[in-house]
Structure 1
Amino acid sequence: MLAAIWHFSFHVADLDRSVAFYRDVLGMELVHVQDQDNAYTRSLVGYPDARLRVAQLAVPGKGEHVSTHDLELVEYVEPRGERQDPARHHPGAAHMAFAVADITAEHARLTGLGVRFVSPPNRITAGANTGGAACYFLDPDDITLELVQPPPHRAHLLPGGRP
């Protein structure tokens, strides 16, 4: 039986570029960076020549949880992969959503830093999060990310949120 989420992972073309984006632009905390060039890693990923660079990042202020990090970024040094079509409509495509208290302000801040948005903040008018807002944006590898402002009845669940 599953007990918790350990982390979410994205495979990236340039680990240093991606760490800079997630840390310096989005404000995540860099927890750990390591090179993985060992028998365990090769067995785990199923590539006999695998060499990876890995970074672990956490959302600040979340408090203690089972893992030290929320997001793992992986660069395959060997074998090098080829860029695939990351379009959101393809099976296997993924995205990660970040909760924010003020989506309009965060959209403006990120736009000012050159972040590429798919859409402006959209008011959620149907479903479980009616009353909130959301928008999609892209990381340096065109991985889809999302900002979500929870609806008023859930805003108190954010760090520093009000009931």
Structure 2
Amino acid sequence: MRLLHTMLRVGNLERSIAFYTEVLGMRLLRRQDYPEGRFTLAFVGYQDEADGAVIELTHNWDTSSYELGNGFGHIAVAVPDAYRACEEIRARGGKVVREAGPMKHGSTVIAFIEDPDGYKIELIQRDAEHG
């Protein structure tokens, strides 16, 4: 078994695809409209679906926003330098909500950003060897 994807419902698909591809550097892997169900699925990720987990962006055509709820935590992305990643993400229009620095009660360097719908994305500083 392996993890396939995390699904997020988004209010504006084009805005979300732009965020994940242009701000976070993922690729749009596939996109499919389902006119009968009035929704579109778009899959984004750093690698092909056969090689790793991706994010499924679900856009229900008749819904422009969602309440995030308190059960969802965050998506985590490994980065080589969290401080630099925050600078680059901010320069590309992304929103940093917790600056890079050591986590509470630990030494791992982390940061948090938000996507256009308010979903949290944790940046975890890891060297290339530990991905």
TM-score (norm 1): 0.70
Whether 1:28 and 2:26 are equivalent positions in the alignment is yes
TM-score (norm 2): 0.85
Structure 2 CA distance for aligned equivalents of residues 12 and 19 of structure 1 = 10
Q: 1:5-35: per-residue Cα shift (whole Å, max 9, x none)?
A: 1101111011111111101111001110110
- Contact map agreement 2:26 2:44 (CA 8 A) in 1: yes
Whether 1:72 and 2:56 are equivalent positions in the alignment is yes
> Given the alignment, which residue of 11, 14, 20 partners 1:13?
11
Runs of 4+ in 1 over 4 A off after TM superposition: none
- Contact map agreement 2:10 2:65 (CA 8 A) in 1: no
Whether 1:156 and 2:111 are equivalent positions in the alignment is no
Q: 1:8 to 1:149 in 2, by over 3 A?
A: same
Structure 2 CA distance for aligned equivalents of residues 94 and 124 of structure 1 = 16
Three-state SS of the structure 1 residue aligned to 2:15 is helix
Partner in structure 2 of residue 133 of structure 1? 109
Q: Percent identity?
A: 26
Partner in structure 1 of residue 65 of structure 2? 83
Number of equivalent positions: 131
Q: 1:142 to 1:7 in 2, by over 3 A?
A: same
> Given the alignment, which residue of 78, 81, 86 partners 1:102?
81
Whether 1:57 and 2:44 are equivalent positions in the alignment is yes
Partner in structure 2 of residue 124 of structure 1? 103
Structure 2 CA distance for aligned equivalents of residues 6 and 64 of structure 1 = 9
- Contact map agreement 2:12 2:64 (CA 8 A) in 1: no
**1:117: Cα distance to partner?**
1.4
Structure 2 CA distance for aligned equivalents of residues 85 and 122 of structure 1 = 29
Structure 2 gaps of 5+ residues are none
Q: 1:81 to 1:64 in 2, by over 3 A?
A: closer
